[in-house]
Amino acid sequence: MKDPTTEGYEVSAHEIDGMVRNLCAYALGEPHPLRRYLDLTHQQVLFDGMADALRRERGKALAALLIAGASAEQIVERTNLTKALDVAKLVKAAGEDEHVKQALRAAVSAERKAVAEAKKREAAAAADVKRSAAAAAAAERKAAAAAAATARREAGAATKAAKPGKSPALPEIPPGTRRVLTADELKALSEVLAQPKQTRRAPATPTSSVPVSRR
């Protein structure tokens, strides 16, 4: 009976005859018919076992493909298998079905863990960016407040400097004393003379009543 999982693979009679002659040369060369029959029967059973062994090795190869990440549909496309069920049958015949299931579950778990770690890293990076932005904003506010305070102090100092101050008083000189004025005294005197003079009003003279003589 032909194996349905080997559809698409054909061998010629010449190839089969050559393989039989190479592998069964001793049995074919037996001159006694009965011994030749027994030896060839043994070879046939041996070859049937070899076919089963080859089928199992094929299943192991497919299992390795599944564990590596290939899907059953992808395997069907790359081989002469006709359906994904054939892949499962060969893998099961090789005794690798449980191994494949465990490997696939581990791969899914690892993928979920990787996704969770990636999300965690993204959240941490976003939090770092947010903290950095907040720190930068706080530093800017602090710098602005310091600049405003400095500007207020400078403005106050400028206003205070612009107000006219009182001229320093001249030192009193006793009457009848003659001496040369110092530089500070000359400066103070010049500042006093430079100030505008205030007009003084003369005191009002009371009007006296003059008697008028009548003639």
Domain match, 67 and 122 both: no
Last residue of a domain, one of 65, 95, 125: 95
> Does residue 184 sit within a domain?
no
pLDDT top residue among 88 and 171: 88
Percentage above 90 pLDDT, the chain: 34
> Does residue 20 sit within a domain?
yes
Domain match, 89 and 111 both: no
Last residue of a domain, one of 158, 185, 204: 158
Q: Name which of 67, 61, 55, 74 is nearest 9 in CA terms.
A: 55
136 Cβ contact list (under 8 Å, min separation 6): none
> Does residue 115 sit within a domain?
yes
Domain match, 80 and 129 both: no
> Does residue 141 sit within a domain?
yes
pLDDT at 43: 93
5 Cβ contact list (under 8 Å, min separation 6): 55, 58, 81, 86, 89, 90
pLDDT at 194: 74
> Does residue 201 sit within a domain?
no
Last residue of a domain, one of 127, 158, 189: 158
Domain extent, residue 112, equals 97-158
> Does residue 52 sit within a domain?
yes
Confidence of residue 14 (pLDDT cuts 50, 70, 90): very high
Domain match, 86 and 104 both: no
Q: Name which of 40, 20, 22 is nearest 30 in CA terms.
A: 40
> Does residue 205 sit within a domain?
no
> Does residue 186 sit within a domain?
no
Q: What is the DSSP letter of 6?
A: G
Number of domains in the chain: 2
Domain match, 68 and 131 both: no
pLDDT at 215: 44
